[in-house]
Structures are given as structure tokens and as C-alpha cells.
């Protein structure tokens, strides 16, 4: 309630920002109409003046004013594209029928977004965004993927605003992993009792870290792969999550935990690969040991055993541990599962 009232007050105060500006100079559409007239009547003079390079800076104050109420952590359908400034700039760049015009302004929309929308997102990343929030991470990454696909933002050599945004993202993710993730190491006697407060807290922290792993995976193709692998695998998985997995105190959640961890890893890391990533060797070994432990407790032909083993084989398939799959299948006679679930060719499953 308080947040809504504060936002309402901010909106009311923002209306006075351009109160002393003539109408023709506080509207993106009207300003661009002047430049459009110049472009049509005196094309050579217009292009010689490098107007396409000046427009993003000229329009910046007005667009930032319209973006005051826009929150990239709550954007679910490209809300900024519904604002008046966006329609005006898009029409100016691509024409009324969205046809590609043969002039240098065809890149102006992307430049405007880089100068206005991206800095706004950078501020939210630095001051507001919680990487452990699934909803916030989904909204933010959806906006970024849309900017990448529709306006070629994040493609090629990054501009200064995009570099600043990416650096802010990495800093925030790194600080979250280094400072916010905490999975306590309790003596085994406290963890063997399923109802103990120590085990409850440890499990809660573990699943929070698993959620963070999935949230970080959504930044695939937006941040450097080497950075994501360092944070997700070297630090989060191998430093924190594996310790809890190997403690053997997750009971019936162990198989589900392995599945959730694998689901959080970016599919692009494994596309076209036939071998397991070096950073996933510990994870692979744990899964193989878990399969052996399950088959020792109950016969491999037991329906519950088979279901659990097949789930773990699917995880091994996801991370491309084909040799381990074949070894398990031969030892416990699960060859039929390999072919029925296409475990050796998951990309066509």
C-alpha cells in the first residue's frame, strides 16, 4: 500500500517537469515530425548533419520521463513498447507501414533504447533486483532476450551503456553467490533427524541456492559463457550444492534435487556435445553413486527403483554422460530405457 502511494506521488510530481516547456518541444512525436520534414525536403543536408547520432541524446530527457513508471522487474509483455515515445520513434525509423526505409535512421530505435531503456535497467540491477527472486529474474531476462532478438541489443561489440549493464549484472550475481548463499555444515547427528531445526534450515538454504542456479541459467546467451560457468558450476554447484548432495541427508528429495539442478543449466552448453563438462564430473559421479545405492536397497526390477533410476539416467543424458548411461544400463539391464527415452540422443527426444 505504501509503495503504491509513493509511486502515485512520484507520478503526480513528474507531471510538473515539463510544465514550462512549449508543447512542440515536450513531445517525442512532434519533435520527430520536424526532423522527418527536414529529412524529406533536404535529405542531403539532413544526413550531412549526422542527425541519427544526435537524436538519442536529444530525446533522452523526454523518454526517461515517460519511463519513470516502468519497472523492468515487473515487465511481462514489453510494457515500454506501449509508451508514446516508442511508437513515435519506431514510426520515424521504419515508416508508418513498418517498411524498412533506406536511410541511416533505421538504427536510431536501437540507439535510443541503448541510451534510455538499458541505463534504467542498470539502475534497477544495482539498487533493486534480487537475483534469488524467480519472478524478478524471469521478467528482467525476458526483457533482455527481447531486446536482443528484436533490436540486436547485446549483439556484436557492446556499446558503453550495454557494457555497463552487463558489468552490473555480473557484479550483482557474483556478490549474491559470494555473500548471500549460505548452506551451513552441521554435524551428521543433527541432520539424520528429519524433523530437526538444523536439517530444516539446511534444506531451506539448499533449495534457495538451487533456485538461484536456475535464475542464473536464464542469463545464457546474454552474459559470457565463461562467467556463467564460473559462477554456476565452479562456485554455486561445486562449492555449495555438492556438499549437501553428498551428505546423503536429502532422503527422498535426492533424485528430485539432481533433476532440478540439471534443469537449471543452460541447454546451449550441451548442444552438439557428446561428453560431460569437466566442471560437472563431481555431479556426474554423485548421480552414478546414487544409482548404485538405489539398486542395492531395492531390486532394479522394482517399479519404484526403475522410476528413480530412469529419472537419474535422464539427468545424465542432459549433461551428456553417455558412457555412464551405458555402464549403468548394462549392469542393471536398463537397455530398453535408453531407447524408449532416447537417452543417448536427447536433442531429438
Whether the pTM exceeds 0.75: the reply is yes
Identify the pLDDT of residue 10.
Answer: 55
275 and 320 Cβ atoms separated by less than 8 Å = yes
* Residue 54 cell numbers, joined: 544526435
Identify the pLDDT of residue 159.
Answer: 92
Identify the pLDDT of residue 254.
Answer: 87
Taking the chain (349 residues) in runs of 10, the rounded mean pLDDT of each run is 54 54 70 90 89 90 90 84 92 66 75 95 97 96 94 90 97 97 90 88 94 98 96 97 85 85 96 92 96 90 91 95 94 89 70
Q: What residues does 223 pair with on adjacent strands? A: 220
| CA 102 from centre of chain | 35
* Residue 242 cell numbers, joined: 555438492
CA neighbor of 84 nearest in space, from 37, 31, 142: 31
Quote the CA–CA distance of 89 and 72 in Å, as a whole number. Answer: 20
Identify the pLDDT of residue 98.
Answer: 43
Identify the pLDDT of residue 285.
Answer: 96
Which are the contacts of 220, defined by CB distance < 8 A and separation ≥ 6? 228, 266, 267, 268, 269
253 and 301 Cβ atoms separated by less than 8 Å = no
SS3 247: coil
* Residue 161 cell numbers, joined: 551503456
Amino acid at each position: 500500500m505504501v509503495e503504491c502511494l509513493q509511486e502515485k506521488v512520484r507520478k503526480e510530481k513528474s507531471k510538473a517537469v515539463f510544465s514550462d516547456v512549449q508543447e512542440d518541444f515536450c513531445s517525442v512525436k512532434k519533435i520527430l515530425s520536424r526532423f522527418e520534414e527536414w529529412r524529406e525536403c533536404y535529405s542531403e543536408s539532413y544526413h550531412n548533419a549526422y542527425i541519427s547520432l544526435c537524436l538519442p541524446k536529444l530525446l533522452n530527457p523526454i523518454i526517461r520521463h515517460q519511463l519513470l513508471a516502468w519497472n523492468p522487474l515487473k515487465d511481462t509483455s514489453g510494457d515500454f513498447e506501449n509508451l508514446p515515445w516508442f511508437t513515435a520513434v519506431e514510426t520515424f525509423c521504419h515508416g508508418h507501414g513498418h517498411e524498412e526505409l533506406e536511410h541511416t535512421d533505421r538504427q536510431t530505435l536501437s540507439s535510443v533504447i541503448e541510451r534510455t531503456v538499458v541505463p534504467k535497467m542498470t539502475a534497477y540491477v544495482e539498487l533493486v533486483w534480487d537475483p534469488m527472486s524467480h519472478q524478478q529474474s524471469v521478467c528482467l531476462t525476458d526483457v533482455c532476450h527481447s531486446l536482443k532478438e528484436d533490436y540486436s541489443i547485446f549483439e556484436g561489440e557492446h556499446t558503453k551503456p550495454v557494457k555497463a549493464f552487463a558489468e552490473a549484472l555480473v557484479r550483482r550475481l557474483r556478490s549474491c553467490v559470494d555473500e548471500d548463499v549460505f548452506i551451513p555444515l552441521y554435524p551428521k547427528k543433527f541432520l539424520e533427524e528429519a524433523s530437526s531445526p538444523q536439517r530444516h534450515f539446511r534444506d531451506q538454504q539448499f533449495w534457495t541456492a538451487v533456485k538461484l542456479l536456475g535464475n542464473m541459467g536464464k542469463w545464457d546467451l546474454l552474459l559470457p559463457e565463461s562467467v556463467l560457468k564460473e559462477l554456476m558450476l565452479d562456485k554455486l554447484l561445486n562449492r555449495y550444492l555438492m556438499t549437501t548432495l553428498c551428505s546423503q541427508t536429502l532422503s527422498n528429495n535426492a533424485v528430485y534435487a539432481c533433476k532440478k539442478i540439471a534443469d537449471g543449466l543452460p541447454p546451449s552448453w550441451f548442444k552438439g556435445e557428446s561428453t560431460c563438462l569437466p566442471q560437472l564430473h563431481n555431479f556426474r559421479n554423485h548421480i552414478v553413486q546414487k544409482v548404485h545405492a538405489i539398486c542395492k536397497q531395492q531390486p532394479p526390477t522394482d517399479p519404484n527403483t526403475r522410476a528413480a533410476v530412469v529419472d537419474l539416467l535422464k539427468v545424465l543424458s542432459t549433461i551428456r554422460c553417455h558412457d555412464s548411461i551405458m555402464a549403468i544400463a548394462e549392469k542393471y539391464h536398463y537397455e530398453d530405457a535408453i531407447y524408449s527415452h532416447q537417452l543417448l540422443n536427447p536433442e531429438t527426444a
